[in-house]
């Protein structure tokens, strides 16, 4: 059954309607030191996140990524079990990039549970952005190779709602889409994987830099993120984005 999530608020500081989360939701985060200051997993009974390095918290977001010396990451601790692999997954995040660096930065990558270990070469590990000025986002592999590109509309603002899904199994389809400028979602970027296997791989916010340490040096700010078992369809992701948007707006994050 789907679940809902409420944030505590009084009548004069009401955030918005309830967020209807997918049935397989494992983790949801609202980041920042302000408001209720809760940076943990908001899903009851869900895995507690594990920090790798030292993510930096601001009032309404967390800054993650490789700063040239340290890989600052939040491991969501949702490992790729056989059940997770068979069912597929959905990862979503509200992010922006404001830092300078090399050629690319990571939003969510598939790292090792509890330690950030690199998954097997060739496995697809998440979504990245090109640069603060570019509107390209990518499906990437553990070798940091770009497998598919999604070009966002030219009227993009700083904050973006991105989602990537995987249809499940050893050779499923990855689908990357954006729900900021086109609130219904555009034509997604897709990539068909091969030879994915179960293991301790876990989606990490801010990525898992090696072997891309020399190229993936942009930092990203993440205000909200969700990890779910099972791929959500585009219409349901658009509904989720519409529900999350007013909650974030009351926290000063406007898309």
pLDDT for 54-108, tens place per residue? 999 999 999 988 777 777 889 999 999 999 999 999 999 998 876 655 566 778 8
pLDDT for position 216: 62
The long-range contacts involving 244-250, CB below 8 angstroms and separated by at least 24 positions, are 244/19, 244/94, 244/161, 245/161, 246/15, 246/16, 246/17, 247/7, 247/15, 247/16, 247/19, 247/30, 248/30, 248/60, 248/94, 248/159, 248/223, 248/224, 249/16, 250/13, 250/15, 250/16
Q: Which residues of 44-71 are buried (b: 16+ CB within 10 A; e: fewer)?
A: eebbebbebbebeeeebbbbbbbbeeeb
CATH for 22-249, options being 3.40.50.620, 1.20.1270.360, 1.10.10.10, 2.60.120.200: 2.60.120.200
pLDDT for position 252: 95
pLDDT for position 217: 66
DSSP states of 55-114: -EE-SS-EEEEE-SS-EEEEE------HHHHHH-EEEEEEEE-----SS-EEEEEEEETT
Query: Could you tell me if 130 and 143 are in contact, meaning their C-beta atoms sit under 8 angstroms apart?
Result: no
Please provide the size of the chain in residues: 255
Find the distance separating the first CA and the last CA of the chain, reported in whole Å.
29
pLDDT tens digits in sequence order for the chain, 255 residues long: 555 555 444 433 444 557 888 889 999 999 999 999 999 999 999 999 999 889 999 999 999 887 777 778 899 999 999 999 999 999 999 988 766 555 667 788 887 554 444 444 334 456 666 566 667 787 877 666 778 888 887 666 688 999 999 999 999 999 999 998 889 998 999 999 888 888 888 898 987 655 555 556 678 899 999 999 999 999 999 999 999 999 999 999 998
pLDDT for position 49: 95
- For the entire predicted model, the pTM comes to 0.87
pLDDT for position 119: 46
Query: Could you tell me if 220 and 65 are in contact, meaning their C-beta atoms sit under 8 angstroms apart?
Result: yes
pLDDT for position 152: 80
DSSP states of 2-56: -EEE-----GGG---SPEEE-TTEEEEEE--SSTT---S--STTPPPPEEES--E
Q: How far is CA 189 from CA 65, 86, 124, 149, 186, in A?
A: 23, 22, 14, 6, 9
């Amino acid at each position: 059954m789907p679940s809902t999530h409420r944030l505590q608020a009084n009548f004069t500081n009401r955030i918005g309607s309830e967020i209807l989360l997918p049935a397989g939701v494992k983790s949801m985060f609202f980041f920042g030191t302000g408001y209720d200051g809760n940076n943990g997993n908001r899903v009851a009974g869900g895995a507690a996140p594990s920090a790798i390095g030292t993510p930096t918290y601001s009032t309404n977001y967390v800054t993650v990524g490789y700063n040239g010396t340290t890989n600052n990451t939040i491991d969501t601790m949702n490992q790729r079990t056989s059940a997770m692999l068979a069912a597929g997954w959905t990862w979503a995040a509200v992010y922006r990039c404001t830092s300078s660096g090399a050629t690319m930065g990571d939003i969510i990558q598939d790292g090792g549970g509890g330690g950030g270990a690199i998954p097997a070469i060739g496995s697809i590990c998440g979504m990245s952005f090109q640069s603060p000025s570019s509107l390209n986002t990518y499906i990437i592999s553990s070798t940091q190779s770009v497998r598919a590109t999604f070009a966002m509309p030219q009227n993009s603002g700083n904050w973006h709602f991105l989602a990537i899904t995987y249809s499940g199994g050893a050779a499923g389809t990855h689908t990357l889409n954006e729900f900021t400028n086109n609130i219904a979602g555009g034509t997604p970027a897709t990539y068909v994987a091969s030879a994915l296997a179960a293991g301790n791989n876990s989606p990490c916010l801010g990525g898992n830099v090696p072997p891309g340490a020399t190229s993936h040096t942009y930092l990203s700010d993440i205000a909200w993120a969700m990890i779910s078992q099972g791929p959500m369809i585009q219409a349901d992701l658009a509904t989720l984005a519409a529900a999350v948007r007013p909650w974030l707006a009351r926290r000063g994050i406007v898309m």
